[in-house]
């Protein structure tokens, strides 16, 4: 099956929970985003929880596994990279997304480490608003919010 160019790249940096990654596979399949997983993974890709969460969408999603963040970004030299973190001051809704943007998310439960947030390719750090005193959203819930905002802004191409 021919895969069109993705309107966005979802990057999970060192994901730990197979169910969240399975849900991200489904998210990529239904939106046309491309999913990138950066090793090490906290699970085996054949785990039942990953397959169950992705249901029958595995063959409809485009997913790649990479040994490092640079291995994801090097083939995308012009892409903007938005790192999602609860520590950011900029709201995810204040960005004008463009086709090919990279939406970068950290592992559960720690989020992106400082060295990744300081990566020279990170265009901006973004946050999804939450009530005070809450630690964070579920990883794929957060990714879904960001992906759908980027897709909405780019005209829901292909929908």
Give strand pairing partners of 65: 37
The pLDDT tens digits for 32-54 are 999 999 999 998 887 666 665 55
Q: Does domain 8-153 have CATH number 3.40.1280.10?
A: yes
The reported pTM is: 0.92
- Phi-psi domain of 55 (left: phi exceeds 0; alpha: psi -120 through 50; beta: other): left
The pLDDT tens digits for 85-120 are 999 999 999 999 999 999 999 998 899 999 999 999
From residue 95, give the alpha-carbon distance in Å to each of 24, 40, 82, 103. Answer: 22, 30, 9, 12
Q: Is the pLDDT of residue 152 over 80?
A: yes
Q: How high is the pLDDT of residue 140?
A: 95
Domain extents for the chain?
Answer: 8-153
Give strand pairing partners of 89: none
Q: Is the pLDDT of residue 3 over 60?
A: no
């Amino acid at each position: 099956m021919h895969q069109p160019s993705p309107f966005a790249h979802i990057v999970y940096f060192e994901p730990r929970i197979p169910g969240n990654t399975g849900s991200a596979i489904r998210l990529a399949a239904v939106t046309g985003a491309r999913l990138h997983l950066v090793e090490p993974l906290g699970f085996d890709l054949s785990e039942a929880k990953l397959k169950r969460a992705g249901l029958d969408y595995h063959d409809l999603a485009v997913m790649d596994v990479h040994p490092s963040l640079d291995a994801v970004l090097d083939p995308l030299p012009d892409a903007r990279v938005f790192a999602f973190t609860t520590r950011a001051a900029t709201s995810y809704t204040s960005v004008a997304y463009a086709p090919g943007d990279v939406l970068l998310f950290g592992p559960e439960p720690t989020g992106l480490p400082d060295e990744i947030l300081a990566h020279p390719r990170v265009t901006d750090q973004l946050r999804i608003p939450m009530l005070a005193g809450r630690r964070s959203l579920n990883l794929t819930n957060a990714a879904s919010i960001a992906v759908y905002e980027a897709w909405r802004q780019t005209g829901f191409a292909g929908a």
